[in-house]
Amino acid sequence: VDTAKLKTTGFASLASMADAKAGFLARVPSSGKTEAIPLDASIDRVLANAISARWAIPPFEKSAMDGYAIMAADSFGASVQKPCVLQLEGDVAIGDVPSVTVSRGTGAKISTGAMIPAGADAVIKIEDTELANDRITFRLYRQIAPGGNIIQSGEDYKDGQPVLPAGRRIRPQDIGVLATLGFARLQVIARPTVTIFATGNELVELDGLRQDEDGLVDPRKAGSCKLIDSNRHAIAAFAGHAGGKVIRAAMLPDDEGEISEAIASAVASCDMVITTGGTSVGERDFIPAVVGKDYEILYHGIAMKPGAATLLGTAKGKPILGLSGFPVAAEIGMLYFGMPAIRKLAGETVLDPRTRVHARLADAVAVKGFGMTRLLRVAFDYGGVMGNELPKAIPVKLSGSGMQRSMVESDGFVEIGPDIEGYEAGDVVVVTLHPR
């Protein structure tokens, strides 16, 4: 990192974003705490143990069609011109154990999903047959190979086959297969607990102001230069999205003693501490002093924009994340460091699952901050995109780490590497999507 170019950040030197992310996450422990929960409550939770098939799925041979279960050899040579005639031995309904046995020259009516009766090795579709008026015999108009229209036992999963790995975040379709395998309850990893502190003497609490009948508050009533602490609410929402359980979110004054005391109590009582504000190198930036004195600073000053004034630390083995007070910088720090840390605490194997989508830049982009990773906010535009063409990425033309609109109106980031000075319109870029 060319420190001469970075003088404007106020940091003597900056760590590369990739190094900071890797180094910080390496120091985040994985939780060992697990809990048993009902299957239907397990969506988005993290599997504590690998799951294997407790029996074969399907557990028995079944019919893929409505038709007749037969011995395939009896169909050989059958055609519309020259049908074969077999004797009807009975019916197999779905959910019933077959009471009939199929032998040469016979067959049993069978419905889709029903268990194949003993002796049969194929099912001929109802459309390729005709039941005689006597209802004692039926004709085959087509031949079928052994195994035809039979779903084999174990075709989906063999008995004992791995189904889901430990550390997997559970999706709806996973709940389906877990139900099939008889998991009425599941062992999942306990949600890591998170405390969030916002600092800043200009801030007032949303919940501390008088609401009108519509639930609206007005910070100007607290003073003409007061602002509502919005970071705490956004960061709590991102923390919950990553699987964290926010057990406390509070505001702290710009006072080193009070900050130190509050962080100590949070470190003692939860799995991760996140602060916003007070992380830069100014007179009232107390977070680096507190973390440096009481705990360990891993990285302070990161070659990224917005977000240079992010602090990554560790406190008695627990991650401590000092986010900027600027909303966009705080949210970016949360996306790149905070959410992966929560996922690691939560035992997840995939720490940053954001989707990466290729797109074509709609406009040229000239970027400042050479030597830093710049996080350009872009919105997708699918208008006029044909067939397999890439979607267009429209740069959200807002600079500044305080511009909340740039996060609200964008779909993701183009991560502009430290050595890139800009893009031409039409360049292909990779967009890292915001969590959704």
222-241 positions binding a second copy, by CB under 8 A:
223-238, 240-241
Site for a second copy in 132-151 (CB under 8 A): 151
Give yes or no for residue 165 binding a second copy (CB under 8 A): no
Q: Which of 176, 292, 317, 426 binds a second copy (CB under 8 A)?
A: 176
Q: Are strands 356-361 and 296-300 parallel, antiparallel or unpaired?
A: unpaired
Q: Which of 353, 362, 370, 420 binds a second copy (CB under 8 A)?
A: 353
Q: Which of 25, 27, 30, 54 binds a second copy (CB under 8 A)?
A: 54
- Phi (first) and psi of residue 257, to 5 degrees: -65, -45
In the numeric block, which tokens belong to residue 345?
């605490």
Using the contact rule CB under 8 A, the part of the chain among 21-29, 69-77, 82-90, 282-290 near a second copy is: 282-290
Q: For residues 22 and 428, which CB has a smaller minimum distance to a second copy in the complex? A: 428
What DSSP designation does 14 have? -
**Cα 77 to chain center, whole Å?**
54
Length of the chain: 436
In the numeric block, which tokens belong to residue 414?
């183009």
Q: Which of 2, 35, 96, 296 binds a second copy (CB under 8 A)?
A: 96
Q: How far is the CB of 85 from a second copy (least distance, A)?
A: 23
> d(Cα 430, Cα 418) in Å, to the nearest integer?
15
> d(Cα 313, Cα 28) in Å, to the nearest integer?
10
Give yes or no for residue 81 binding a second copy (CB under 8 A): no
Q: For residues 57 and 102, which CB has a smaller minimum distance to a second copy in the complex? A: 57
Q: Cα–Cα distances in Å, from 171 out to 157, 191, 288, 434?
A: 18, 16, 39, 19
What DSSP designation does 152 have? P
Q: How far is the CB of 241 from a second copy (least distance, A)?
A: 6
Q: How far is the CB of 296 from a second copy (least distance, A)?
A: 26
Give yes or no for residue 56 binding a second copy (CB under 8 A): no
Site for a second copy in 285-324 (CB under 8 A): none
> d(Cα 111, Cα 86) in Å, to the nearest integer?
18
Question: For the purposes of burial, counting CB atoms within 10 Å of the CB of 96, is it exposed (0-12), middle (13-18) or buried (19 or more)?
Answer: exposed
Give yes or no for residue 336 binding a second copy (CB under 8 A): no
Using the contact rule CB under 8 A, the part of the chain among 25-33, 54-62, 77-85, 99-107 near a second copy is: 54-62
Using the contact rule CB under 8 A, the part of the chain among 3-11, 72-80, 99-107, 313-321 near a second copy is: 3-11
In the numeric block, which tokens belong to residue 152?
């084999």
Q: For residues 81 and 173, which CB has a smaller minimum distance to a second copy in the complex? A: 173
> d(Cα 351, Cα 339) in Å, to the nearest integer?
8
Q: Are 194 and 321 in contact (CB under 8 A)?
A: no
Q: For residues 16 and 276, which CB has a smaller minimum distance to a second copy in the complex? A: 276
Give yes or no for residue 90 binding a second copy (CB under 8 A): no
> d(Cα 48, Cα 165) in Å, to the nearest integer?
9
Site for a second copy in 397-436 (CB under 8 A): 398, 400, 402-405, 407-408, 428-430, 433-436
